[in-house]
Amino acid sequence: MTTVLVADDSETILLLMRTRLELAGYTVETAADGQEVTERVDPNSTDGPDILLLDAMMPRKSGIDALRELRAAGLETPALIVSAHQTPDDADAPADLEISGYVTKPIDFDALLGAVAELTAKAA
């Protein structure tokens, strides 16, 4: 079963994403911000999440900064960025960050589930 680590500073959005992903059959772990993501994900472990779903802007550490740090440490896990900004450029997501997809807020859950399913299929 595919495990998705979802990070968002909004408890409501986090609960909604968790619920929709679990109903679609995914195992879901959650984090309140990017700092928690970097503390929990070991880039050298094979036991981590299969997909990261990171809010671009969070307190303590943004999803962009968390992903940048994890990529620098060698993490290759696919990552989707969620943001109120309409494009990755608007969210300060550099092209070299290896983002697997981008989902805008308010979240279209059909698009979100489609993006996660696409990443899952690529990994299979």
**Per-residue pLDDT at 32:** 96
Q: Would you say the pTM of this structure is higher than 0.85?
A: yes
Q: Which has the closest alpha carbon to 58: 120, 105, 21, 23?
A: 105
**Per-residue pLDDT at 92:** 58
Ranges under pLDDT 70 in the chain: 85-95
Domain assignments of the chain as residue spans, ordered by start: 3-123
Whether domain 3-123 has CATH 3.40.50.2300: yes
Backbone dihedral region for residue 40 (phi beyond 0: left; psi -120 to 50: alpha; all else: beta): alpha
